[in-house]
Structure 1
Amino acid sequence: MESGEQVVEWSVVPSEIGPLLLAATHAGLVTVAFHARPRVRDRALGQLRSRLGMEPVEAPGSERLAGPAGRLAAYLAGGLREFSLPLDWSLTSGFQREVLRELEAGVPYGTVVGYGDLAARVGRPGGAQAVGAVMGSNPLPLVVPCHRVVESDGGLGGFGGGKETKRRLLELEGILPQPLF
């Protein structure tokens, strides 16, 4: 493979919240998928194949994936607050990209934002449901922290990794109290 050739490299890495599929292009991390057991992994790879028009290549230990894998492990261990990773936004566009970029840049570690507040930040007051749909289709969860988006009444809201994972991530960031048991 020539160095200028476009390729999507992927690997499944273990984590404290279950196996994660990581995929990256020359531009940066393009996908993080929760619960990356075979069925979920194969679906995520199929989406990459169809959306990017190329065959993802399994590349455990790849330099492209080593940085993101290490940073995610450090974050989940409580030792990292900012990812500072190159991201490939090619799986997003329009309103979705606008919302996700605002979330990534404007909602730091240890804070939360409401769906409606995030909608207002991107000029769509009253667009809380649209923001919820964007969170559900976020191709870069954890790194683009959709777990930090909550309901205005204090409810957790949904999360692609499951509510228990969302709760754990918010506890990790000091937003929710740790459970007693």
Structure 2
Amino acid sequence: MWRNTRSGWGWVSITLHWLSALAVIGLFALGWWMTGLDYYDPWYNQGPWLHRSVGALLLLATVFRLVWRLFHPTPREDGSRFEAAAARAGHLLLYVLLLVALVSGYLITTAKGSGVSVFGWFELPATLYGYDNQAEIAGTVHWYSALALLVLAAGHGLISLKHHWIDKRQTLVRMISAQYAKRD
């Protein structure tokens, strides 16, 4: 039940999916809120530190998730060929936007050559830095990719509810419970 099968998602994929969803929503809300903080606000330094730490963990989890997905089957798609193609395109775009938002956030933080401290546990080293306007360009990319990611993720959630309530498919249930993964 921890591995994916052609009939359902395993617990590893389910857990990574929902943790990613929570992290994306939380990071967007925190990012939006912290940009309005005054210099004297106690969260002025704490908010960005938390945002960077969770973002770095999400980046590592996303890389793991993509590797996991490469080596494990994905469940069969329900619906028409058009719906299956749209689902594949939508999921690909979600992954691309997630990676663009995460990498651009990393490039903002490391623009001056400093690594990213992750809750003080370890540091992601700065690998690309010192380019003209790096933080500004990465900041613009970060904002728009995060906004597009949130909009697409909301659509993703609404479509899953449509599949569940209107189409009467198991799409949403398969992403909540690994019981379907053991049927292969």
Normalised by the size of structure 2, how large is the TM-score? Answer: 0.25
Taking CA–CA contacts closer than 8 Å with sequence separation of 6 or more, which of the two structures ends up with the larger relative contact order?
2
Larger radius of gyration: 2
Normalised by the size of structure 1, how large is the TM-score? Answer: 0.25
* More helix by percentage: 2
* More strand by percentage: 1
